[in-house]
Every structure is written in C-alpha cells, then in structure tokens.
Chain A
Amino acid sequence: MHMNFMRHAFVLAVTAVSLNAQQATPAAQASGALDPLALPAPAAGSLVAITNANIMTASHGNIMSGTILIRNGKIAEIGTNVTVPAGAQVIDGRGKWVTPGIIDAHSHSANEGINEGSQSVTAEVRMEDVLRQDGISLYRQLAGGTTTVNILHGSANTIGGQNAIIKLRFGLPADSIKFAGAPPGIKFALGENVRRTSNAQSTRYPRSRQGVEDLLRESFIGAQEYQREWDAFNTARAAWDKAPARSRGAAPIPPRKDLEKDALVEIMQGKRLVYWHSYRADEILMALRVSKEFGFKPNFTHILEGYKLADELAAAGATASTFADMWGYKLEAWDAIPHNAALMAERGVNVTINSDSDERARRLYQEAAKAMRFGGASEETALRMITLNAAIQMGIDKMTGSIDVGKDADIAIFSGHPFAPASRVDLTLIDGRVFFDRNTAPTLEWLMQLMRNRPRITSEDGGAR
C-alpha cells in the first residue's frame, strides 16, 4: 500500500500544486486508462505554502497578499512576512482569496440511515454506525470549499440519534472520515415532524407539542433515576473493593447498561451537545426551559423564528443554526424571514447558516452572503456563520474553523472574493492535503471510475491524517 502513496506524492508533484496549470484533465483520463492507484487526493506533503493570497482568517480579520505555511497538516505560520522554507510545496495564491474550510452544521450527506423513526426516543442510535463515504455529493461539497460536516439524525423523533462529525476526506473509507476529537452530540426535534402531523394514522406518542415537553422531561427524569442507580452501585462497589476479602460478601451487581439513558446522562453532564430541530418561538422557549431544568446548553437548528427571541437565546448561551432564505415550506416555517441570521447575530447569538441539503452544501458561501444582503451582517460575521461559529457550536473550534496557527489546515481557496457571485473554489485542503483541485479535478465520470476500481485504503495506511 505504501506504493500507492508514493504514486500520490508523484501525482501531487506534477499536477496538484500549480493553480495555473493549463492541464484540463489528468493524463490518465486523457488516455482513457484506468489507473486505480491515482486517487484524486494526493498525500499531504510535510510542508505546504500558500503564497501571496488574500487571507480571510475568520478570527482576526483579513491579510492581503499573505502567506500561510502548513507543517504536517497544521497551520504553522500566517502573515505577510513568512519565509517559505526550501522544499515546501508552493501553491501560488496570487489573486486568490483564502478562507477557512467551510463547516456545514447540519447535513445528512454521508449516511445510510437518517431516521430511526419507529420510536420517539432513540438516543441509543449512532450516525457513526451507518456512515458511508462514496456519495458523489461529498465531492461536490468539497468543490464548494466545504471541509467539515455535522451528520445529524433526522427529525422524526423527539429525542433522535447521536451525530457524527466528519471531514470530507473523499476517496477514503468510512472509518477514516470521522473528525477525531470532536465532542459527541445528539439530535432532538420539536414540532410537526415529531408529532407526526403528516401521518394521521400514527399512533406514536406524542401527538401534540405539550406531549413533546412531557416526553422530554419524562426521559430526562428517567435518566436521572438511572444515574442514581449507577451512583449507588459505584459507591457500593468502592466500599466492597476496600473491604477485607474475608468479611465482605459477593461483589455488588452492576445495574443494566442502557445505551439510551447513557446518552441522556451525558447530556446532563455536559458531555454531549444537543442539536435541536426547531421552528416556532413558543416551543423554542419550552426547549430553553427544559434545557435549563436539566442543566445543559442547547444548540438550535432551523430556528426560523429565532429573530423573535434572540435576546432569550443569547442570555441562555444557546447557539442558532439557520437557513439563509428558506421559508413557507410548511406551516411552522411560515414566519421565517431572510434577516433571521443577521438579526440573531446582532443580538449576540452565535449564528451559523447550514445546508441540510446536498445541494446547498455545495455553495454555503453564497448562503452566507445572503446574511449581508438581507440582514446587513458584516463580511466577517457572514464568513463566521459558515466557519468559526459552526466550529464553536460543534465544539471543534480549537481544531478548525479559522485560519490560526496551530489549527488543522482546512482551507478553501477561491478564484475571487468568496461572496462575489462569479467566484468559485479552486482548491480545497483538509489537514494540508489537497482533496479538491479544480485544475486537475477529474470529470465526474472519470472520478467515479477511480472510485470503483481502486484498491481499498484504510486508516492504518495513514492516508487520512
């Protein structure tokens, strides 16, 4: 397998580095030959430099005509006075605009199952169990500068399943796309979907918004009882461990491990983030009350009426991930306005704009620009809505989300200003490795051949990191 990566390195050297290369298609494609070893994503060199580019850091303003030095997949230096060491692979960024890799806070693009809709509480199910890596939409999203994606459970259940945060390492197996170190989360949902408005035959509880609140409280109270059982056991076990072997009886028997309740306990312990599918202001207020009662900070997704309660959200430390301009597609989406994102941001809420769609995920930068167009958000605020704010919301801002020294080199390089209508992504890097290059991008047809015929490479080969 090492030979593969030798080949990748070679491909990188000849094709991937220069943005000005006139080569429209890779050699293998032109000849029609299938080269199963020529993955579209060459291995990262240990030193990569993006030079003379306009850098939008998302955290500390823009640096015009600056250089980013990437060492072993991490951002090592940024500025206008960076010396490029000999041997570095140089990406000429002249005339280009560089942003952090875009983060989609709400996606269902890389999974074989979306809803375990047979029950109202399915905290035990995990998106990471059903990840799939071969969807062509993932590559299209890379071509839109997207690097990190929050794969969420669907919204069929009051308490849905556990999320999976992935990086779009397209071409690698499912077990190498997970975002190592991302905090676990879970999807909750409110409103029409969970009360089965569209299914008159449904016999599932709850059928009303009051029922949703009741089910939430009942579930958390059940989890608290479960936790008390375990606490009692742990105390008894510790005492038993200390007791002299002769006088102590049999060891206490642990309670049943309940994966559903484990996840709910983790939420109350602050170890698992809640992503709450929400529309109406009244039920968002309910969710804020429930969150407070059980001691966790909620993140809301959709939250189309967030502008009505921006102050309450900010006071609760809740984050909000919304659509740029989607409304009216169901009754509870009736009061949505395209100013929502900017208005919430203005009142101090951490706001992101997500896709919830394979299509919009290819052009989140245009969605962010709408926050400027409609709500008057600043350029940096709009950019943060698809980068740093999403990283903060998902608890991965120490690792990605902005162009800062020490962070993963997840970077999108645009042909022009990212919010200009004609700009396109030229290069997308994840961990310093080029996963998309418009100059050498295979046609879809050729790419799919590679997907089909190349041998499998697993994470042990080191390709992913």
Chain B
Amino acid sequence: MRRTPLHRLVLPVAALALTQTAVGAQSNSRDNLTGVWALTNARIETVTKGTIERGTVVIRDGVIEAVGASVTPPADARVVDLSGKTLVPAFIDLTSSLGLPQPTAGRGGGGRGGVPAVPAVFGQPPETTTEERIVGLEPDRVIAEELNLSATDARTSRDQGIGAVLVAPARGLFRGLSALVPMRDDTASRWIVKTPVALHVGYQTVPGQYPGNLLGVIAYQRQAFYDAQRHAMVMDRYKANPRGVPRTAHNAELEALVPVVKGEMPAFIAANAENEILRALALAKEFNIKVTVVGAVEGFRAINALKSARPPVVTVDFPTPAQTTGWQYQFATRRDPADSAARTAAATRTIEGNAAALNNAGIKFALASGGLAAGTFMENVRKAIAAGLPRQVALEALTIRAAEAAGVDAQLGSIEAGKIANLLVVLGEPLAATARLESVYVDGLQYDVVPPAAGRGRGGRANNPPQMREE
C-alpha cells in the first residue's frame, strides 16, 4: 500500500474529491449512513462536561445525537447495554505518519523527491526541473492528496483506543500540510476530518544541498517567511485591483506559507530539545505567527518559554538520558557503575516526568505518540502518569486538548451532542494497563477490538458497514 505514491498528475483528481468531501462530510449526513446506536447504562466520561455515572449516548449517522442520564433510546436505534463499562472519547494522536510513503534517507526518497541532476558543466550548480521535489522541503505537500492508509493501519491504532490521527511527514524543514484522519477501515481522503490542519516544520537538513546544516535550515525558514509575507502582500494587492499591475508568478511553496504568515493557520514545529523549543518560539515571535511546539520532550527545561506559548503537543517518545540536553557528555566511563545506574534512574524520572512538570507549571498540552507504535504510545502515557501526571489531565490531553490543538474541538475530543461519534468502550480504568478496550466507535462505525492473542481472522471490521455511494 505504500509502494505507489501519487504522482502530481493525478493530484487534480484527488483535490476534486477532497473538495467534495469537505463539503459533504459536514453538511450532508446522508453521506455517512452508519445507522443509529443507543449505548445505554454506561459510565460516561464526557471529559468536558463531567462524568455521568449511568447514562446513554445516542449516535445517529456518525454524530452524537444525545448524551445524558435520562436519555431514551430512539425507536430506530440498536440498543447496546454497556452496564459496568465506561465510555470515553477516542484518543487523538497528532504525530502520525500513517499512510505516507516510508521516509527514506537522502534526496529523492519516498517516491516524491527529485534527484538533482549531476551537473553537466564543471562549476555550475546542479540543474533541477520543475517536476522534481525535494523531500522535506515541500511546504505545499498536501498530505490529504496522497494518503494511502490501509485497514490494518487503522486497526492497529484503533485497537489502542486511537480514533483519529494527524498525518504529516516526520522529517524535513518544511514538511507539508497535515490532515486529520479518522481510524476507520475505509478511510480515504473523503473521510478526512480536517485538511489542512497545520504547516509542519522541523529542523532536519536536506542532504546534499542547501540547507545542509542547522544554521542553513533556520536561515532558510526565516527567508521563506519573509518571502511569504511579501508574496501575500503582492497577491492581495493584485486581487484587489489587477488593472495595470504586472503579475507575479504562481509559487505553490509560498502560497502554502501565506495562511501561516497571515495567522490563519498554525505552524506545527517539531521541537524536542530545550534549544529547539526556544528556536521555535523565537520564530513565532519574529514573524508574529501561530506556532505549536510539537514534541517538547525537554519541555521541563523550557517551562518559562512554554508558559507564554500556544499549548504544545507533548510526545511520549522519551529520549534516553544521553540524548537529553546536559546529559550527552561522555563521563559515564569515569563513574562507578552502581552510581551510574542510580543516575540513569534519576534521569529517567525527570524525562518521564516531563508532562507532569508542565502540568505543575500550569501549562495545558496535548499528549501524542511522537511516532511510537500505538501500543508503546499508551504504555508511555502510563509511565507519564506514574511520574506524576494526573490521570484526568492525561485523558484530557489525549482527547479535548488534542482536538483544540488541531482546531477540531467543535467536532472531536469529548462526548457531547453534536460531535463526531468517536468513542471507546472500556472495561476498567481506561488509562490503566489493566483496562480492556472492547469496542471503538469511529464516525459512528462500531469496531470490535481484538485482543492481540486472539487477533487472527476476525475483528477490525465494522459491524455496521457504511453504505458507500460511489460517485
């Protein structure tokens, strides 16, 4: 499924489909005929409006129709008795690369990049054609247009309670425009919840060409934002009054940056180390743009800076002590081994306590995987809780805070009438290792969760398959 990347030629078709989806999914409920469900006698953690100890959630065509202690199941509903079970909103992971071609090192990887031609003339810069794309340096890469997500991908996430993921490339300095994707088996671009969510930015270089060093990466980004500011100004003036004004060339890369410099779309900057976080926030200040720090695994070292920033997306892909600022230096060889083990344990507490430290400082944040496999993601969330993150805060961070960060809190992140029906049915404490996730609703589609041991052959299929209408 990851072998045939989309080529630019087919993109106009995909873009057309996308436009229809964006309209259809919002305004025409008949598109998503998932039937009517009444989930009764459940303990309902709405996240935003407290907990209902025994209540009912009604779902109609993918949307939560009613939530409450005294809601009567409609006559046309399939009634499911959830006595003894808990309903929570499905989790949202804002750091996913599901459905994208695997990143490859070097230029031309991932089936999208162009390999700069070997220069024919000594001393001349390599020639590139307009067809060639440089991986990691493509702000106008629209992820929604190339998503190729398999049912297995969706199920793997869903079986850990993840109902939606934000897909963006994991490397590069201008990575593209992300899409928020529900974890349903038939996820195609038509079911995307939102696109574009953000411009994704990072600090990786482009091998073999400029910028080839962190120095150049930051300079390149700075110049790009200046260029985008000017491009926006020139294009706006042209649109306002084109008569007699020489035209400016179309520039897709700059067009992709324009909503960011206008403050209409956030830049999600992957920044983990203390200094990366400070650099990302310095960029926000320099251009007065909305920056969401994504990663922040050393957030505990940048508390003050994060306090005045937009809520970060904190990932739980914990670094090792040796990867952490202040710890990299090779002194371990001079330590006596027992001492070293104690210190590593102390470091681990600090690193796993990152989210707790941010919470103690009053910083709101979303939790995300940082690209970890779904199972490890939840395991590490439990480590963060063990290191002092209150469980309720963790649940909020996995649901409503993530929805807020992606700008979809009107649609996702809590159990409220009118929101998309992304729910988990759990036996036991939802965030505990002992929890048994029994069933996941995504867009109102009910999926059984298959325990890993018994996972072969069944499960993962929606029990109420949508009636697709192919146009």
Q: Residues of A with Cβ closer than 8 Å to B?
A: 1, 34, 112-119, 122, 124-127, 129-136, 153, 161, 173-175, 203, 205, 207, 250, 253-254, 256-259, 444-445, 448-449, 451-453, 455-456, 458, 460-461
Contact = CB atoms under 8 A, between A and B. Distances in A.
Contact of A458 (B209, B214, B305, B329): B305
Given A116-B210, A119-B216, A449-B343, 11 more contacts: A116-B213, A116-B219, A118-B210, A118-B213, A130-B218, A153-B215, A256-B230, A445-B335, A448-B327, A452-B327, A456-B300
A17 B3 CA distance: 68
A116 B119 CA distance: 21
Contact of A119 (B210, B326, B335): B210
B367 to A, nearest CB: 21
Of B218, B241, B305, most buried by chain A (CB within 10 Å of CB) is B218
Given A445-B331, A456-B274, A456-B302, A126 B218 contact: yes
A192 B59 CA distance: 72
A50 B43 CA distance: 71
Contact of B215 (A113, A132, A257, A456): A113
Interface string B203-245: 0000011111111101100110011001001100100010001
Q: Which 9 A-B pairs have the closest CB atoms?
A: A118-B212, A116-B216, A113-B214, A125-B215, A113-B215, A118-B210, A451-B326, A129-B218, A125-B219
Contact of B214 (A119, A130, A134): A130
Nearest to A444: B331
Interface of B: 119, 122-124, 126, 208-216, 218-219, 222-223, 226-227, 230, 233-234, 237, 241, 245, 274-275, 278-279, 300-305, 321, 324-329, 331, 334-335, 343, 346-347, 350
A132 B347 contact: no
> For the complex, would chain A's binding face be called helix, strand, loop or mixed by DSSP majority?
loop
B346 A117 contact: no
Q: Which of B209, B216, B302, B303 has the most CB of A within 10 A?
A: B216
A434 B346 CA distance: 29
Nearest to A457: B304
A122 B326 contact: no
Q: Which of A117, A257, A456, A460 has the most CB of B within 10 A?
A: A456
Contact of A173 (B122, B209, B274, B347): B274
A34 B215 contact: no
Contact of A34 (B226, B301, B305, B346): B346
Given A116-B210, A129-B279, A205-B123, A122 B216 contact: yes
A173 B278 contact: yes
A122 B222 CA distance: 13
A129 B274 CA distance: 13
B299 to A, nearest CB: 10
21 contacts: A112-B275, A113-B213, A118-B210, A118-B211, A122-B210, A124-B223, A125-B215, A126-B215, A131-B275, A135-B329, A153-B215, A174-B275, A203-B126, A250-B237, A257-B227, A257-B230, A259-B222, A259-B223, A452-B324, A456-B300, A456-B301
B227 A256 contact: yes
A135 B328 CA distance: 9
Contacts of B214: 112-113, 129-130
Contacts of B328: 134
Contact of B219 (A1, A124, A134, A254): A124
A218 to B, nearest CB: 13
Contacts of A173: 274, 278
A135 B301 CA distance: 16
A92 B405 CA distance: 57
Contact of B326 (A134, A153, A203): A134
Contacts of A127: 215
Given A130-B214, A456-B300, A448 B331 contact: yes
B335 A452 contact: no
Contacts of A117: 212-213
Contact of B122 (A122, A126, A203, A250): A203
Nearest to A111: B215
A455 B354 CA distance: 12
B119 A460 contact: no
Contacts of B213: 113-118, 125
Contact of A456 (B208, B223, B304): B304
Interface centre among A256, A258, A444 (most CB of B within 10 A): A256
Given A112-B275, A116-B210, A254-B230, A122 B302 contact: no
Contacts of B279: 129
Contacts of A451: 326
Contacts of B334: 445
A455 B303 CA distance: 9
Nearest to B245: A250
Given A126-B215, A174-B275, A175-B278, A118 B209 contact: yes
Given A124-B223, A257-B226, A161 B302 contact: no
Nearest to B321: A452
A304 B325 CA distance: 37
B332 to A, nearest CB: 10
B331 A458 contact: no
> Which of B213, B216, B305, B343 has the most chain A CB atoms closer than 10 A to its own CB?
B213
Contact of A460 (B226, B304, B343, B350): B304
Contact of A452 (B124, B215, B234, B326): B326
Nearest to A258: B223
Contacts of B335: 445
Interface-centre pick from B301, B302, B326 (highest chain A CB count, 10 A):
B326
Contacts of B331: 444-445, 448
B278 A448 contact: no
Contacts of B347: 452
Given A445-B334, A455-B303, A118 B327 contact: no
A126 B324 CA distance: 24
Contacts of A129: 214-215, 218-219, 279
A280 B218 CA distance: 33
A119 B234 CA distance: 29
Nearest to B123: A205
A449 B210 CA distance: 38
A134 B123 CA distance: 40
Contacts of B321: 452
Contacts of A258: 223
B5 to A, nearest CB: 26
A442 to B, nearest CB: 13
A454 to B, nearest CB: 9
Contacts of A112: 214, 275
Contacts of B241: 250
A452 B301 CA distance: 9
A133 B214 CA distance: 16
Contacts of A458: 304-305
A124 B219 CA distance: 6
A117 B210 CA distance: 8
Contacts of B329: 135-136, 448
A130 to B, nearest CB: 5
